[in-house]
Structure 1
Amino acid sequence: MIPRTPVRRAAAVLAVLALGLAGCTATSTRAAGSSDGSGVIGVALPSTTDAGWEHAGEAVASELRDRGYRVDLEYAADDARTQASQVQNMLTKGVDAVIVAPLSAEELAAPAELADEDGVPVALLGRGLAVSGAGFAAVVEPEELGRAQAQALLDALDAGQGADATDPTPAPGTETPESAAPESAAPETVAPDDVGPTSPAGPVELTVLAGAADDAWEQRRHAASIEALTPAVDEGRLVIASGATWDEAAVDADPLDVSDAAEKRVRNAVAEADARGETAGRTAFLALGDDVTRGVVTALTTDPPVSETASPTPSPSPAAERSTPTAERPDPIVVVSGADVGTVRALEQGTLTATVFADTRDLAAPIADAVEALLDEREPESDGTEIPGSTDVPAVAVGPQTVRADDITRVLLDTGWMTPEELSG
């Protein structure tokens, strides 16, 4: 533990106070404490926009309350500075431990230092970033998500199917294809005009879309997915038209603008393919991230916005125009992530080929076990998972699941992730 000194503490306090002033307007707070337990646990999560984080918050709070703790559950509206301010406020209120799904390790540095000085345990949830002083991490590994998404796309290539058909293959695991070389470099992006005429049996033109440019966690997902896809590129089955590198794939610098930016990029890609007609061949989209997925789904299921100079007569939606695949160019392969209601509806309706998600409710028990261990000054149990930059932090991981239309009932409805009424709208 870092020795407590007045100078160090004063500097840290000034830093977190500045964060609090900058981020105080974007917070979404839920005071969830109700039981007269043995302490108060602060839980700081990114946003209620993602179903995964909302389910995680509910599950973690319920698990902690069942063990006699009171819970201060807060969401940061996907703003890293707001999250840092929330953690600082939890410490000021005297919580006994903090659970945080870190949006930025850098922004959390100052409040993490205060927690360390005050002897308040910090445990990471969902996103494994190198947060100073963290004593445990229950995470979803982005590399596993990326490999699973890449595998779902490769399975669709092998089956020769787009979003309009049902994939008969069983849900894949998360392993990298056998032919993938662990040290493969990212394949070179090829401009669509350089591909030449293709057919449904020819190479598929893939657009890879990822989240905010400075998101280190999502960057790891992207690297793993590209590595898994590289053999298909080398074999000539796949051409990455956009997004082979992280700089190309990241759709925006601002996390709050990712969905809109992804929507625009997909609309542009669809328009370009439509303009090229039969020579465009078959297309595919790989959406790495739930916020990216929301933009992709919007682009493929709704009409584009009408600009001020546009004709007042509405045009058919891109999805409607491509609802009937042709021999020249079938519907695109679309592999996304997450299990928000809108995403699952699009999967059920055939717009999407597959989605990959991790059931964040499975993180609740191990994170609660770890908090109890840390408060008792015991080392939490680990399954050998390593957090890059913090390899000495005990950690456990929850694996992803690949969901196709036929899997919705078994994976999402029967488990209570969502209700039939929510799905039907």
Structure 2
Amino acid sequence: MQKRIFLIAAAAATSLVLAGCAGGGAGGGAGAGAASATAAPSDLRIGVSLPSQDEERWISDGKAIKEGLEKIGYQVDMQYANNDIPTQQQQLDQMLTKGADLLILAPLDGTALAPQLQAAAGANIPIVSYDRLIRNSSDVDLYVTFDNFKVGAQQATSLLEGLGILNKDGTEAGAKGPFNVELFGGSLDDNNATLYYKGAMSVLQKYIDNGTIVVKSGQDELAQITIENYSQDKAQERMDNLLTSTYTGGPILDGALTPNDSIARGVITALQNAGYGPTLESDPKPMPITTGQDAEIASVKSINDNVQYSTVFKDTRILAEQAVEGAQDLLAGAEPEVNDTQTYDNGSMVVPSFLVPIQPIYMDNIESVLVESGYYTPEEVKTGRLQ
């Protein structure tokens, strides 16, 4: 818990410098939610729309947001869109019809909610974009997220560390390769997927250019490597196809840049089915280095078992807390805390943002980062299942 308090304090300290810099959004900045400023929390209703319950992280986010809002006393309308854009649109329409006073949205498609956003703005309903950026709209009051460019850069750095190219401190470790690596990308309808990719390539490109890393499939553009909806099954299918087309009867795959844990697990399943891993002594093919994101419990167990190499921990407790605090400020007619007023241009405005720190996870820091902070129990790490 001390680590968590430190992260919150550090983020808050940074935000003091920029707290007054937030621009106007759906309700015009400080006036947003002014009509609700004198209302009791129990009289206010907040609509929360998240992408799906297929990924553990969105379930954790939803639980943390709902508990935080209800602790203050707000009514909460929590909906999951089942990875279906029309469903999310319909759910938002229903939230507005039922009298939502504020919306917290993690959009499936950052550009697909224009009618709902315009309706909310017309009713002076503040909008918080949660983790995924709402694009091409000036009707956004606040964006709470992680530094997703840094997430991608960290994934690439972890990959290089696992291959022995870099040390943990970022210095050159001496391994020259060439190493065969395949790249996987996130879902194109998620703005964060572009940020992960750009962050990763900012680290990897020079090693691709100098031949240390070889992408034998030739597929290195985001449009070529994208995995729709971050689907584990689709990731497994793509890895199966790559192994058949490029790695049959000769070259060995050394690593895969995998942008989140569900994609990593799909890739690992395909690799295990193809004989990679520690079990086939007659024809040993070491498990390639794989990365990840979200520190989902199944992948944390996989890291602890020395199968997946790393993940990026994004503490959704802190992110949810920041969303709740931002919602509370907006409903009071106040400016929410921000610590970034330059980075997130959504095509219509630079959205005032609050960025939460990230933490890479390896086998040797699962205990100190995830268990000691209370995020997981030792038994959950051991079994790979939440209790």
Shorter-chain TM-score tier: 0.7 to 0.9
Q: Shift of residue 263 of structure 1?
A: 0.2
Residue number among 259, 275, 281 corresponding to 1:288 in the alignment? 259
Q: Shift of residue 96 of structure 1?
A: 1.2
The alignment partner of 1:71 has SS state of strand
Specify the code of the residue in structure 1 equivalent to 2:199.
A
The alignment partner of 2:267 has SS state of helix
Q: Shift of residue 178 of structure 1?
A: 9.3
- The answer to whether 1:140 aligns with 2:185 is no
Q: Which residue of 1 aligns with 2:310?
A: 354
Seen in structure 2, the aligned counterparts of structure 1 residues 71 and 271 have a Cα distance that, compared at 3 Å, is same
For structure 2, list consecutive stretches of 5 or more residues without a partner in the other structure: 1-24, 28-39
Specify the code of the residue in structure 1 equivalent to 2:200.
S
Seen in structure 2, the aligned counterparts of structure 1 residues 418 and 251 have a Cα distance that, compared at 3 Å, is same
Equivalents in 1 of 2:351, 2:196: separation in Å? 21
Q: Which residue of 1 aligns with 2:300?
A: 344
Note if contact 1:211-1:291 (Cα within 8 Å) is conserved in structure 2: no
Q: Shift of residue 288 of structure 1?
A: 1.4
Q: Which has the higher contact order (CA 8 A, sep 6+)?
A: 2
Counterparts of 1:16-415 in structure 2 under 5 Å? 37-130=42-135, 131-158=137-164, 170=168, 202-242=177-217, 243-252=219-228, 255=229, 258-271=231-244, 275-277=248-250, 280-281=251-252, 283-301=254-272, 303=273, 318-319=276-277, 321=279, 330-385=286-341, 386-389=343-346, 391-415=349-373
Specify the code of the residue in structure 2 equivalent to 1:287.
T
The alignment partner of 1:346 has SS state of helix
Note if contact 2:109-2:189 (Cα within 8 Å) is conserved in structure 1: no
For these two proteins, the number of residue pairs brought into alignment is 341
Q: Shift of residue 36 of structure 1?
A: 7.3
Q: Shift of residue 362 of structure 1?
A: 0.9
The alignment partner of 1:285 has SS state of strand
Note if contact 1:105-1:129 (Cα within 8 Å) is conserved in structure 2: yes
Q: Shift of residue 52 of structure 1?
A: 2.0
Specify the code of the residue in structure 2 equivalent to 1:294.
R
Seen in structure 2, the aligned counterparts of structure 1 residues 375 and 178 have a Cα distance that, compared at 3 Å, is farther
Residues 179-212 of structure 1: per-residue CA shift (max 9 Å, x gap): 9xxxxxxxxxxxxxxxxxxxx8521111111133
Specify the code of the residue in structure 1 equivalent to 2:206.
P
The alignment partner of 1:345 has SS state of helix
The alignment partner of 2:263 has SS state of helix
Specify the code of the residue in structure 1 equivalent to 2:317.
R
Deviates more, 1:36-45 or 1:289-298: 289-298
Residues 65-118 of structure 1: per-residue CA shift (max 9 Å, x gap): 222212111111122221122111111111111111112132211111111111
What TM-score do the two structures reach when normalised by structure 2? 0.79
Q: Shift of residue 289 of structure 1?
A: 3.0
Q: Shift of residue 122 of structure 1?
A: 0.8
The alignment partner of 2:336 has SS state of coil
- The answer to whether 1:419 aligns with 2:377 is yes
Q: Shift of residue 282 of structure 1?
A: 5.0
Equivalents in 2 of 1:211, 1:63: separation in Å? 29
Equivalents in 2 of 1:364, 1:265: separation in Å? 33
Equivalents in 2 of 1:413, 1:351: separation in Å? 19
Note if contact 1:51-1:340 (Cα within 8 Å) is conserved in structure 2: yes
For structure 1, list consecutive stretches of 5 or more residues without a partner in the other structure: 4-34, 161-168, 180-199, 305-316
Note if contact 2:179-2:212 (Cα within 8 Å) is conserved in structure 1: yes
Larger Rg: 1
State the Cα RMSD in Å: 2.9
Specify the code of the residue in structure 2 equivalent to 1:136.
L
Q: Shift of residue 322 of structure 1?
A: 5.2
Residues 311-348 of structure 1: per-residue CA shift (max 9 Å, x gap): xxxxxx6445557996xx64311122222222112111
Note if contact 2:345-2:351 (Cα within 8 Å) is conserved in structure 1: no
State the identity as a percent.
29
